[in-house]
Structure 1
Amino acid sequence: MSVKRDTAALYVIQACGYLVPLIALPYLSRTLGPDHFGQVSFAVAFMQFFITVTDFGFDLTAARKISIHRGDREMLTRLYWIVTISKSCIALLCALIVLASVEFVPALQDVKGIILISLLSLAGTVLSPVWLFQGLEKIPLMAVITLATRIVSLTALFFIVKSPADYLATAVCFFAPLLASGLILTAIAHCAGMLTSWQKITREDLWQQSLEAFHVFSGSAFAFMYTYLNAIILKFLTGNDAVGYFVMADKIVSPIKQFFGPLIQTMFPRICKLHSENRGKEADDIIRKVVMTVLLLNACAILAVFVGGEKLVVLAFGVKFLPAVPVLKALIFLPVVVSIATVLMQLSLIAQGEVRPLKRIYGIAAAFHFVQSLILVKEFGATGTAISVVLTEVLVIALICYACRGARSRRVEAGAQGAQGAQ
């Protein structure tokens, strides 16, 4: 029952993540005008990079340890301060880079005020103990707080933003919710007894936790590189029309690709706990069920696109975008391979603490993608880009499966040695 409740709570957050922009963007585009609206949108994209760097993979590695040691409050408190201090150091470095950028880069002068306000979200990233609530499986509470701060921010936006001159207030409404939810969740964690008083932290503690998180972060960085460079490669090799077709198809596919995120996030602490108790077979059974669910639902999406893809494109974007239909039919295979790769990576590798292979896996994938995408884009344009992304993710699945096989062998060997020692 808890799994269903937690999963539902995360799906509510994800739905709000889609609905809030849908509600706010039409109003803002008309109220702020193209110039100021573009400035705020740029600041959101600009700051997202630094938020990703500040997270640094801690959310997964720390959530795993929390789920294993959930009964030891002193251990949880030590981990809380290790992660918070580590993220604070990274955020401080990111903030210095941001400040230097807005001060010395002429192209950023017109958005200086908005980018400075966007630092609120960087502070929120440091303070938000989402990984703590996830590891303790207190996801519904986290969902309620996150949803409440977004609703308050959206309501305030409609009352405060009345003209283009209010673009800085718009930035506050965009970037403050993450800080507000972080402060509230931190207060709850301390007041509700999830944590004890301050625990002494050493530099060795910070180094060890950061090193473990780095393997996850470096893998994400390689994946980020081959995911977000596609439009740039496409533009230089084929032109703007092809970029438009690819981006349009990606907009349709993206919600499907992210659909299984809440389910995986909910299962993660439970799988970590099973592995820590040497119940790997139970964990493998759950993973197989999740993979079968991914395959079944994505098969429905693939069938829907091949049957009604043309009508969907015309309805959503107009007749001019019909050349994007082949791109969409190639890209619709991406959600299933990405979802399976994510399931295996998080629930099989990271849940067992096997984070070292990630950097190698995604490094190989990035090199492979760069080489074969150049060939396919030159030959097939936007459709070639879609095919190249799918092929890269298929390679990622193959490499992850190989790493999972090695992890399973080590787990069986360790179990056999433990049984012999007990005798």
Structure 2
Amino acid sequence: MRLNKQAVNNILQMSFVQGLNYILPLIMIPYLLRTIGVENYGRVAVATAIVQFLLIISDFGFNFTATQKIAVKGKIDNKLISTIYIYKIIILLVILLVTILGLFYIKNRDEILFVFGFFVFFIGQSLIPAWLFRGINKMVYVSLLTFISKLTTLILLFAYINQTTDYYLMGLIYGVPSFITMILSYFIIRTYGFKFVQVSWEDLKEELSYGKDMFLSNIVGTFYTTLNPIILTIIAGPYATGIYSTCEKIIGVLNSMTNAVSQAVYPIVCKKINENPYLEVKKYKIPISFLFFGWFPPFILVVSLVLNFNSEWILELVNGSDVPNGQISLLNIMIFIPFAISLGHLLGIQSLLPLNERVSVRNSIFKGAILNLILGTAGTLIFGVIGMGTSVLICEFVVSLSMFFYLVRYFKTNNRNKVITPLN
């Protein structure tokens, strides 16, 4: 298997800086557990999960649909970019109104700053045009801006988080760096010729219609990703959420590798599939995406096996003290989640999406979300945090298996030379 020069450059750029990005959280987690404690860390995890849910509404699938359109066109599209920004600004105003109304019911000054800080974090994350940088094959900007943000966050963290009661500042510590990088990203895209142009409601409706399947995929996907800490808090309490979130951050390092490589090759795969979607190997039709990403799931599996045998040492390093009961077993289960997710990237994001099978991706994720809601809730009630970790692992494999069957069906019902050009 050979990757073209652009793919290799993208992967190296994303992987190197993303690796630095995830070293910083591994420094932050032990520090936070020592200073604000497991329970307050659980509160921060819940607030972060809520922000991630709101970002799904703000993104509306543009991270995939807009990236695909820009990659195929190979240039800046001012009308498309302006349309997306207008939608995001509308959503921001709505959430700002809801936030202001909510603040009237909070009497504690610290809690007000906590909520306000995470709203600032949401603004910054929402308006950073990562989808645009990926579309024009400039992923290095995504990584560099993220690195700047996380480095600034780390500096603020050590400067202002020194005791348990300081947890209320975490929103601003995440929010201020994110807001700064948002401003920097705007000046960067201006250098590539972007300028706001007038768009109509019809333009907005068209983009929302095109992205609705990915939006629904992301919404239902939150049931077994960002909503899991909320479910855990309700059923098992903030302490269990802190244990789970620590393991989630550890496997997040592997997931970041998957995201980095996937983001690096996605615009290239979109362009290649648009030209010729398949390779033929011994009369079997293979998506061209397998050339660019097929090597990655086996690699992640090997890394997961190595980490599984060193889970106790990893947790002792992260916690900086005695490992909470059950956390080693939880990590031994969750460490294989990145492998299942990498299969989903190969079969879904890298194969079905560029083939414009967005409904198939949506249906697969919907099945996983329903299963997770049932298994996650029941498992947590019966087995506690172990039940939640097991549920996530099962559901990720179910999603990947569903995508595999959809991909096989697509092969059987479409000719090899079918042209994939429904993009405007």
Name the TM tier (shorter chain): 0.7 to 0.9
Q: Who is 1:177 aligned against?
A: 177
Preserved contact between residue 313 and residue 322 of structure 1 (Cα < 8 Å): no
The answer as to 2:271 corresponding to 1:273 is yes
Write the letter of the residue equivalent to 1:179: F
Percent identity of equivalent pairs: 22
Preserved contact between residue 78 and residue 197 of structure 2 (Cα < 8 Å): yes
Q: How does 1:50-65 map to 2 (within 5 A)?
A: 50-65=54-69
Preserved contact between residue 337 and residue 390 of structure 1 (Cα < 8 Å): yes
Q: 2:143, 2:119 → 1: CA distance? A: 23
Shift of 1:27: 7.1
Write the letter of the residue equivalent to 1:85: I
Between structures 1 and 2, the one with greater helix share: 1
1:10 is matched with which residue: 9, 14, 24?
Answer: 14
Preserved contact between residue 334 and residue 390 of structure 1 (Cα < 8 Å): yes
Shift of 1:137: 0.3
Q: Who is 1:68 aligned against?
A: 72
SS of structure 2 residue aligned to 1:402: helix
Q: 1:102 to 1:45 in 2, by over 3 A?
A: farther
Write the letter of the residue equivalent to 1:143: S
Q: How does 1:98-117 map to 2 (within 5 A)?
A: 98-104=99-105, 106=106, 110-117=110-117
SS of structure 2 residue aligned to 1:281: strand
Gaps of 5+ in 1: 419-423
Q: Who is 2:345 aligned against?
A: 342
Q: 1:417, 1:230 → 2: CA distance? A: 37
Write the letter of the residue equivalent to 1:224: T
Q: How does 1:77-156 map to 2 (within 5 A)?
A: 77-104=78-105, 106=106, 110-151=110-151, 154-155=154-155
Please, what TM-score do these two structures have when normalized by structure 1? 0.80
2:202 is matched with which residue: 201, 204, 210?
Answer: 204
Q: Which has the larger displacement, 324-333 or 20-29?
A: 20-29
SS of structure 2 residue aligned to 1:351: coil
Q: 2:377, 2:41 → 1: CA distance? A: 34
Q: 1:151, 1:244 → 2: CA distance? A: 23
- Return the index of the structure with the highest Cα Rg: 1
Q: How does 1:233-312 map to 2 (within 5 A)?
A: 246-281=244-279, 284-287=287-290, 290-305=293-308, 307-312=309-314
Q: 2:86, 2:420 → 1: CA distance? A: 38
Q: 1:66, 1:275 → 2: CA distance? A: 14
Q: 2:45, 2:376 → 1: CA distance? A: 29
Q: 1:414 to 1:108 in 2, by over 3 A?
A: farther
Q: Who is 2:225 aligned against?
A: 227
Does 1 or 2 have the higher relative contact order (CA < 8 Å, sep 6+)?
2
Write the letter of the residue equivalent to 2:94: L
Q: 1:256 to 1:152 in 2, by over 3 A?
A: closer
Aligned length: 411
Shift of 1:344: 1.8
Write the letter of the residue equivalent to 1:113: L
Shift of 1:31: 8.6
Q: 1:113, 1:241 → 2: CA distance? A: 23
SS of structure 2 residue aligned to 1:137: coil
Q: 1:110, 1:63 → 2: CA distance? A: 39
Q: Which has the larger displacement, 116-125 or 355-364?
A: 116-125
Q: 1:303, 1:33 → 2: CA distance? A: 29
1:171-201, Cα deviation, whole Å (9 max, x unpaired): 54531222322222222222333x3x54432
Write the letter of the residue equivalent to 1:227: T
Preserved contact between residue 86 and residue 206 of structure 1 (Cα < 8 Å): yes
1:40-87, Cα deviation, whole Å (9 max, x unpaired): 77755543432332122211111110001124x5xx111111111111
Shift of 1:390: 2.0
Preserved contact between residue 222 and residue 362 of structure 1 (Cα < 8 Å): yes
Shift of 1:202: 1.9
Shift of 1:272: 0.6
Write the letter of the residue equivalent to 1:60: F
SS of structure 2 residue aligned to 1:259: helix
1:373-416, Cα deviation, whole Å (9 max, x unpaired): 45555665544433332221221112111222344445427729
2:374 is matched with which residue: 371, 374, 383?
Answer: 371
Gaps of 5+ in 2: 281-285
Q: 1:158, 1:243 → 2: CA distance? A: 23
SS of structure 1 residue aligned to 2:357: coil
Preserved contact between residue 137 and residue 267 of structure 2 (Cα < 8 Å): yes
Q: Who is 2:364 aligned against?
A: 361
SS of structure 1 residue aligned to 2:276: coil
The answer as to 2:345 corresponding to 1:352 is no
Shift of 1:10: 2.0
Write the letter of the residue equivalent to 1:338: I
Q: Which has the larger displacement, 52-61 or 264-273?
A: 52-61
Q: Which has the larger displacement, 79-88 or 374-383?
A: 374-383
